[in-house]
Copies of this chain bind each other. A is one copy, B any other.
Amino acid sequence: MENFIFQNPTKLIFGKGMIAQLAKEIPAGKRVMVTFGGGSVKKNGVYDQVKKALAGFEVTEFWGIESNPKVETLREAIRLGKEKNIDFLLAVGGGSVIDGTKLISAGLLYEGDAWELVRKGMCTETVPLAAVLTIPATGSEMNNGAVISRKETAEKFAFYSNNPVFSILDPTVTFSLPKWQVACGIADTFVHVMEQYMTAPGQSRLMDRWAEGILLSLIEIAPEIVEKQDNYERMADFMLCATMGLNHFIGMGVREDWATHLIGHELTALHGLTHGATLTIVMPGLWRTLKEKKMAKLVQYGERVWGITAGTDGQRADEAIARTEAFFRSLGLPTRLADAQIGDDTIREIERRFNERNAAFGEDRDVTGTVARRILENCK
């Protein structure tokens, strides 16, 4: 086990009807800006619940944080927030709204342009931020990470600030989500876990078990959700899995990969492909490419998660990869570049970008531009 420091101060407020707790959690007298994506919260009742809970506060609304939130949009929110002297932010939405609001929380206290913050990669001088989550997927509600895009250059980078001080998760808000979004959320969670798990075995018995626990839960839940999306217990299980998949609870003392995400970000930046779909395409290809190195963990994963116990290690690893790909397909998600009409030009461009940045990703820092090209060729 590697030495580590773990701290996650976010207060998680979970369950039916919990949005009403908002008023108790925000300090009295705060000038609150509430940030939203599109209009779905007006249809599913979340907007009304939030408005009601915030009746005692001076509230400014900012609408229109898009998926893969763009700095161009967030600059507008920062301008408005500064004008209104906002000193508390409440993100109401999915990971994109929360991610975008993390940049706003830093931008409100920063003189320069928000993209400078993104390129610095980190800023912890922020206005306090809380969240009402509407889409289980990214874990942003209980971590300090965000991913921000820039339209004019088709770029997408990670940015780190502070955790939300609290996040409210009411599983009933997921009942009306589009099926595609639920599928992407399941896949996103699955791959978050894998980025922390699929490296080498024997680093931490407990973290392995906890990661496998999320994977097993998702595999059980997924077909049930496809069948029926308004079962409270099921959606609560899913929502809890998504948050626990990326809040560092399964990452203590273990090395992490994240090359799938970093390659996937480029596919989104260049093609606008949904984040979850980029992951289901890249991860199996990455495993095929780095199979020898990840063999022991692929075998452990195959046995504990899929019950694969027959064959040579190589055969068991292949079977584990195939089962994973089949799982993603059962969710209706693409697993090959061709499914998303992405061809060789994109592969070459990603190799070029990674080389230009001297990229060295993955748990051993060996995923360079050249290796990324090989991975993407294995995603064809």
Please report the C-alpha to C-alpha distance between residue A217 and residue B241 in the assembled complex, in whole angstroms: 21
Chain B hits for A209, CB < 8 A: 209-210, 212-214, 216-217
Contacts of A204 in B (CB 8 A): 236-237, 240
Interface presence of A12 (CB below 8 A): yes
Q: Mark A186-222, 1 if CB is under 8 A from B, else 0.
A: 0000000000000000101110011011101100110
A78 at the interface (CB under 8 A from B): no
Given contacts A204-B237, A236-B253, A244-B206, contact A7 B11 (CB under 8 A): yes
User: How near does chain B come to A234, taking the closest CB pair, in angstroms?
Assistant: 9
Q: Which residues of B contact A252 (CB under 8 A)?
A: 12, 14, 240
Assess whether A13 is interfacial by the CB under 8 Å rule: yes
Contact A240 B16 (CB under 8 A): no
| Alpha-carbon separation in the docked complex, A99 to B310 (Å) | 50
Q: Does A2 contact B (CB under 8 A)?
A: yes
Q: Is A233 part of the binding interface, using a Cβ–Cβ cutoff of 8 Å?
A: yes
- Chain A contacts with B in 298-350, Cβ cutoff 8 A: none
This chain: copies in complex: 2
B240 touches A1 (CB 8 A): yes
Contact present for A217 and B213 (CB under 8 Å):
no
In the assembled complex, the CB of A27 is this many whole angstroms from the nearest CB of chain B, namely: 16
Interface flag for A49 (CB, 8 Å): no
A9 contacts B by Cβ under 8 Å:
yes
Interface check A64, CB cutoff 8 A: no
Whether B212 pairs with A206 at a CB distance below 8 angstroms is no
Of residues 222 through 242 on chain A, the ones whose CB sits less than 8 Å from some CB of chain B are: 232-233, 236-237, 240-241
Q: Which B residues are CB-close (under 8 A) to A370? A: none
Q: Which of these, B2, B3, B14, B233, contacts A4 with CB under 8 Å?
A: B14
For A5, the chain B residues whose CB sits under 8 A away are 11-14
Bound Cα distance A279, B8 (Å): 31
Q: Which residues on B sit within 8 Å (CB–CB) of A244?
A: 206
Q: Does A249 contact B (CB under 8 A)?
A: yes
Q: Is the CB of B233 within 8 A of A220?
A: no
18 A/B residue pairs, CB under 8 Å, sorted by A: A1-B232, A1-B233, A3-B14, A3-B15, A5-B12, A6-B12, A7-B12, A202-B233, A204-B236, A205-B220, A206-B213, A206-B214, A206-B217, A206-B237, A206-B244, A209-B210, A209-B216, A210-B210
Question: B-contacting residues of A (Cβ < 8 Å)?
Answer: 1-18, 202, 204-206, 209-210, 212-214, 216-217, 220-221, 232-233, 236-237, 240-241, 244, 249, 252-253
